[in-house]
Amino acid sequence: MKRRGFDAQLLVLLALGLFFLALPQFIHSSFWLGFWTMALFFALLGQSWNVLGGFGGQISFGHAVFFGTGAYMSAVLQVKFGIDAWTSAAVAVGAGALVGAFIGAVSFRYGLRGSYFALVTLAFAEVFRVLVNAWDFTGAGFGMLIALKPGAANLQFVDRVWFYYLILALVAITLAIAWWIEHSRFGAYLIAVREDEDAAQALGINCFRVKLAAITLSAALAALAGIFYMQYFLFVDSHIAYGPAMSINALLAPMIGGMGTVLGPLIGAVALGGLSEFTSAAIGKTPGVNLLAYGILLLIILRFLPNGLMGLFRGRA
Amino acid sequence: MLHIINFAHGSVLMMALYAGYFLFSLFGVDPYVAILILAPLFFCLGYALQRFVIAPISFGKEQNVLLVTLALSIILDNLALFLWTSTTRSIDVSYAENLVDVGVTMVALPRLVALGAAIVIGLLFWLLMTWTDLGKAIRAVARERQGARIVGISVDHIFAMSFGIGTACVAIAACLLLPTFYVTPQVGNAFILIAFTTVVLGGMGSFIGALVAGLLLGIVEALSGILLGESLGQIGIFLIFILVLLFRPTGLFGQRAL
């Protein structure tokens, strides 16, 4: 049984990979290319949240803190220190992981669980937002702008299709990580912590270290999403980077798609992107409409599909 | 009190501010008179919300409550954005600028009224919790849910009642704020962490704690605003929130661990 499910999942992953690789051949409008690029971006952000929230059961309301650190770190290094984009990106991932490790260390050391962990992550994101917004070095209220210098060395592409392939590669890496988590000893520990932390502790699992590893990994991936965002839009400000909206975006995709599943965040991100386009087509581009639809969808999912859209497939298999 | 962490609290406040705003601008109802309309209305709203939306969807799990109320706040905030756009609105009442001499300094009248009302409500709250059957039932449910059910308390009803009381208080707070404040669809976010901080700092379920914590936070906010400047000043509240959660999760007056 286990063996068969394992093979089916690999097949689905392979088919999806082929589909996404071939997709640009069939897209000729920049609109749809942008749509799929952003869907994959939200899949990346969602997967980073999923590592901690889905597999580890540690619901974070402040994933923007890692996302923003990645975005700001890469921007500051490039703009203020003239460091090239690739090195900046590498350092920024490290910085994101470090922030994750720090927040994880203090909040897990003092035993914050459940809602309290969620609230403390939100508070950390707000602290970073205020700091970045107040500090001239990080552009204060104006945000950070990277100069347009196209070229692979600067991680900027004139042909936007390369951004698509870049984010596709990043999503593929996170899918591999999620798949590894599902099949590794570390993942088993993490899921044990989610299901019953006290029992896991009693069985000899070092819950603190497992959770710390999860939040560090999760933060590094969120920072990666931030770096991509920075290179794609070349602009970020404190509200985009550290505001609650980005934290909510991070948790929506895995919530809708299915928490603690390999494919959930990707499916959720594509579903949300589609819903957003559908509502703007149906009701118009009034601000707030797509988020309104997200909120309603989230309520429906929580009520009827606690395992997300993935629950639909799992029930049948 | 019941360890319900309601993420939609800020959004409910925002909705109440809008309700007060429209009552004033369309029908000329004074915000203080509007309390009489909005408090019962929001009580019913809160009761229904808990009983028919939050409770059935969350299946009684604490983390789901957080997510359901988060979804509700997304819905409410964006509904407001959709219906009323992001324009900042405020009302103009004749007494907003009236200053009262309180000996040491001059205070705007609406703020003084708000202070008085807060103390009165705090007192009423305390009376409700200590002397009425409802208060006893709420305390019983908070302490021992199964036991309360066994002695015949309808736990669902009590949860919804306390939720309703909470939203009614939010509506009153909105009416008190309105003369000196403004409304936008995002206004709730500014309050939500402050409200959580007050409760956590004071100790969950402690009224005196919440009152003292509220005063303390007011002082901290004013001081950090003076010392650190306008934009950096907001950081004080968040830092206190983090520190309290980490080092004294029972708050100043709370007895029970989380």
Pairing status of strand B99-101 against strand B106-108: antiparallel
Cα A133 to Cα A238: distance, rounded to the nearest angstrom? 6
Average pLDDT, stretch B180-194? 75
The nearest CA of chain A is from the CA of B232 a distance in Å of 6
Q: Do A115 and B66 touch (CB under 8 A)?
A: yes
Secondary structure (3-state) at A47: helix
**What was the pLDDT predicted at A257?**
86
Q: For domain A28-316, which CATH number applies: 2.60.120, 1.10.3470, 2.60.40, 1.20.5? A: 1.10.3470
The separation between the first and the last C-alpha atoms of chain A, rounded to the nearest angstrom, is 10
Pairing status of strand A235-236 against strand A144-145: antiparallel
Nearest CA in chain B to A297: B71
Strands (E), chain B: 99-101, 106-108
Secondary structure (3-state) at B96: coil
Look at residues A2, A72, A100 and name the one whose alpha carbon lies nearest to residue A226.
A72
Q: Please say whether the beta carbons of B126 and B102 come within 8 A.
A: no
**What was the pLDDT predicted at A7?**
65
Q: Which residues pair with B106 in a beta bridge?
A: B101
Cα A137 to Cα A41: distance, rounded to the nearest angstrom? 28
pLDDT exceeds cutoff 50 at B142: yes
What DSSP element (H or E) covers B127? helix B109-131
Cα B47 to Cα B53: distance, rounded to the nearest angstrom? 10
Would you tell me how many other CB atoms lie within 10 Å of the CB of residue A113? Answer: 17
Secondary structure (3-state) at A87: helix
Chain B hits for A106, CB-CB cut-off 8 Å, are 246
Q: Which of B242, B247, B250, B258 to mutate to test the interface with A (most CBs of A within 10 A)?
A: B242
Q: Please say whether the beta carbons of B1 and B205 come within 8 A.
A: yes
Selected residues 63-92 of chain A with any CB under 8 Å from a CB in chain B: none
DSSP label of B183: B
Size of interface A-B (CB pairs under 8 A): 120
Instruction: Region of A288 please: left (phi>0), alpha (psi -120 to 50) or beta.
Output: left
Could you give the angle at the alpha carbon of B72 between the alpha carbons of A222 and B249, nearest 5°? 65
Q: Do A292 and B238 touch (CB under 8 A)?
A: no
pLDDT in tens, chain A (317 residues): 344 555 677 788 888 888 888 887 787 788 888 888 889 999 999 999 999 988 888 888 889 999 999 999 988 888 888 888 888 889 999 999 999 999 999 888 887 777 788 888 888 888 888 888 877 777 777 778 777 777 777 777 777 888 888 899 999 999 989 889 888 888 888 888 888 888 888 888 888 889 999 999 999 999 999 999 988 888 888 888 888 888 888 888 898 888 888 888 888 898 888 888 888 877 776 777 778 888 888 888 888 887 778 777 765 43
- DSSP readout, A242-269? HSHHHHHHHHHHHHHH-TT-SSHHHHHH
| A296 vs B67, B75, B247: nearest CB | B75
Q: Which residues pair with A145 in a beta bridge?
A: A235
In this structure, what are the phi and psi dihedrals at residue B255, rounded to the nearest 5 degrees?
A: -105, -35
Q: Please say whether the beta carbons of A293 and B71 come within 8 A.
A: no
Q: Please say whether the beta carbons of A256 and A272 come within 8 A.
A: yes
Q: Do B74 and A294 touch (CB under 8 A)?
A: yes
A292 near B CB under 8 A: yes
ipTM of the complex: 0.75
Secondary structure (3-state) at A109: helix
Chain B hits for A119, CB-CB cut-off 8 Å, are 5, 193, 196, 241, 245
Between the CA of residue B104 and those of A94, A286, B100, B101, B107, what are the distances in Å?
Answer: 53, 50, 11, 8, 10
Selected residues 89-118 of chain A with any CB under 8 Å from a CB in chain B: 106-107, 110, 112-116, 118
**What was the pLDDT predicted at A14?**
83
Q: Please say whether the beta carbons of A270 and A287 come within 8 A.
A: no
Task: Please give the distance of CA A101 from its chain centroid, rounded to a whole number.
Answer: 17
Chain B hits for A110, CB-CB cut-off 8 Å, are 245-247, 249
Q: Please say whether the beta carbons of B204 and B3 come within 8 A.
A: yes
Chain B hits for A130, CB-CB cut-off 8 Å, are 231-232, 234-235, 238
